[in-house]
Amino acid sequence: MRQRFFALAAAFAVSCAPLAQAAGAEPFARPQRFSTQDLSAFADARIAALKAGLQLTAEQEKNWPALEAALRDSARARISRFEEWRDGAPAKFDTDPIGALQRRAKNLTARSSELEKLAAAGKPLYDSLDDAQKRRFGALVRAAIDERMGRRRGMGRSGQDGSGAGPD
């Protein structure tokens, strides 16, 4: 129990570090963009939180590396898509709706493939979990997906205007 608490606390601290820095900034200063290193750290924290929350047995640990590798591959691909979008696509969305649809289709196809790999990598581990671990697995994975998609419970897609513009 203590180990789980400390692991979750560490993951929370890593996730909130950039927010603490931003709190000391000028009140109306433009927020800094997250770097690749920041996004990677957030992914690491989500993976650590998932593992800590599951409290895997020694036998279940054998199935963890495949899922972890798939999660890391998915995070790297998402960061790559985000950087590509951040570095040029927002302006293109305003002037090229067909190009935006084509980019969205390409990204959805890539994301579909990543999700299939995640499901295949996670199935052996999930099948070995007890009922309590399965509940936690579902809750932790849903929370991570909602966070990655910019969703808040009851709010739908990201974006103040509800447009959900973004790479995923």
162 in a structural domain: no
160 in a structural domain: no
Entry field: residues in the chain: 168
Q: How far lies 115's CA from each of 5, 23, 67, in Å?
A: 29, 35, 11
What pLDDT sits at residue 50? 93
51 in a structural domain: yes
Q: Give which of 47, 54, 42, 40 is closest to 14, Cα–Cα.
A: 42
* Arithmetic mean of pLDDT, 44-67: 94
Q: How far apart are CA 70 and CA 120, in angstroms?
A: 9
Choice between 160 and 138, residue whose per-residue pLDDT is larger: 138
Rounded to two decimals, the pTM is 0.65
Q: Give which of 35, 67, 63 is closest to 48, Cα–Cα.
A: 67
User: Among 11-15, 77-81, 121-125, 155-159, which is the least confidently predicted range?
Assistant: 155-159
Domain count, the chain: 1
Residue 86's domain spans which residues? 2-23+34-148
166 in a structural domain: no
What pLDDT sits at residue 112? 92
Q: What would the pLDDT profile of 102-111 be if each residue is shown by its tens digit?
A: 888 988 998 8
The two structure tokens encoding residue 35: 């770097």
75 in a structural domain: yes
